[in-house]
Amino acid sequence: MSVIRLKGQADRRLRAGHQWIYSNEVNTSETPLKQFTPGDQVVVETAQGKPLGIATINPNTLICGRLISRSTDTLLNKSTLVHRLKIALSLREMTYPAPYYRLVFGDSDGLSGLVVDRFADIIVVQISTAGMERVKSEIVEALQDVIKPTAILMKNDGKMRQIEGLETYVEEAFGTVPETVFLQENGVLFEAPVWDGQKTGWFYDHRENRKTMQGFCDGKRVLDVFSYVGGWGVQAASAGATDVTFIDASESALNYVNGNLKLNQYEGVSNLMHGDAFEAMSSLIEDKQRFDVVVMDPPAFIARRKDIKAGEGAYHRANQLAMRLVAKGGILVSASCSMHLETARLHDLVRSNSRQLERFSQLVYRGTQAPDHPVHPAIEETEYLKALFYRIHNNMGL
């Protein structure tokens, strides 16, 4: 096989457990990156020529290499995919009684650039790297062997593909995939739009946080901001909330909210607000509306490091509006899926809002991503989700 040789000391992160190789870590005078085609598999060597394993290569990206194995005998092929899918499946099956979960979470399951979500017999796949794209047919075959699904959808329209120089597309790889799929989470039924929805159509990562949220909702009034198809609000309704308001910029998503409420035979009051979340919350404040539970789960306001300042401003403003809508003694759930926003910083933003609004806030629960989104201990990027639950009081003179 072809070889890439690292610069001196550039192997330290890999030896510590990381799986990524940056282009500035490669000794390009000895092993020029331009000789490779995106998706090639190569042997990775230290500066002294000692093999470290096999990686897929994309010479056109900052993260130019992704380690597949620490053995030079293991290639990324169907056999390796089947083996790692079985290991990933065993974790999910020991965790969840029903087949609704993220089956593969990229680096954390030893399959960098691959995400697989399972909706019973329907599988939705997202490929984000050239290396995984090269073995797309093997991925489909491996999934057929391990899961035996009735259909597989390739939802390859993510932003990462553009960085990797890959075309975007959404297509059936096997069988016939319906426009929407059914799933169950925390005992609540949902219908999710896998073809046209966000990401794979559903977000399993907040499963445990939503379960915690349910405990605060019986007999309460709930606001679900950035609701998408109602992951939080519909579960609040199923947990006994008497009045649930949903805010989302997508009219289509709100139509699914309505359908999911009916699917769970909700008989309480529901209010669907279509429009900009910031404007909608401001309108509710003007109308002097208050809610016992307010869930603030926005999209990633910080996609890249250069977005941190502007993104933190957006999180600050969103949480301030949300806090003003919390009834006395109510619960604010402040969530973030931005990897570049640390949990401590989100907590600090909420603290700042508490002081500005003269509220007394108490952190009562710290949530993170569900077990089907395991964290790789050497790759901090795999730990991205946070959900902080606060009880909010009017100023107590403190």
- The label of the residue with tokens 């966000």 reads 198
> Does residue 101 carry a pLDDT above 90?
yes
How are strands ordered across the β-sheet holding 40-45?
A: 3-5, 40-45, 51-57, 63-69, 20-22
Mean pLDDT across 158-176: 96
Mean pLDDT across 225-238: 98
Burial level of 7, CB count in 10 A (0-12/13-18/19+)? middle
Render pLDDT for 335-390 as a digit per residue (tens, 0 to 9): 999 999 999 999 999 999 999 999 999 999 999 999 999 999 999 999 999 999 99
In 3D space, the residue among 136, 131, 128 whose CA is nearest the CA of residue 160 turns out to be 128
Q: State the Cα–Cα distance between residues 288 and 277, nearest whole angstrom.
A: 16
Q: What does the pLDDT read at residue 398?
A: 63
Q: Which domains does the chain have, with CATH numbers?
A: 3-69 (2.30.130.10), 78-177 (3.30.750.80), 181-394 (3.40.50.150)
Q: What does the pLDDT read at residue 60?
A: 96
Residue 189 CA neighbour count, 13 Å, CB half = 12
The answer to whether 61 and 23 have CB atoms below 8 angstroms apart is yes
- 178 band by pLDDT with thresholds 50, 70 and 90: very high
Q: State the Cα–Cα distance between residues 319 and 26, nearest whole angstrom.
A: 43
Single-letter amino acid, residue 120: A
Mean pLDDT across 268-287: 98
255 contact partners, CB below 8 Å, separation of at least 6? none
Mean pLDDT across 245-259: 97
Mean pLDDT across 140-159: 97
> Does residue 83 carry a pLDDT above 80?
yes
> Does residue 303 carry a pLDDT above 90?
no
Mean pLDDT across 279-302: 97
Locate the DSSP E strands across the chain.
3-5, 20-22, 40-45, 51-57, 63-69, 100-105, 114-119, 122-127, 151-156, 169-174, 180-185, 188-193, 221-225, 243-248, 269-274, 291-296, 326-336, 359-367, 386-394
Q: What percent of the chain has pLDDT over 70?
A: 99
Tell me which DSSP letter residue 191 carries. Answer: E
**Beta strands at 326-336 and 291-296: parallel, antiparallel or unpaired:** parallel
Can you tell me whether residue 363 is helix, strand or coil? strand
Average pLDDT, the chain: 96
Render pLDDT for 3-42 as a digit per residue (tens, 0 to 9): 999 999 999 999 999 999 999 999 999 999 999 999 999 9
pTM beyond 0.85: yes
Extract the tokens encoding 284.
């509710």
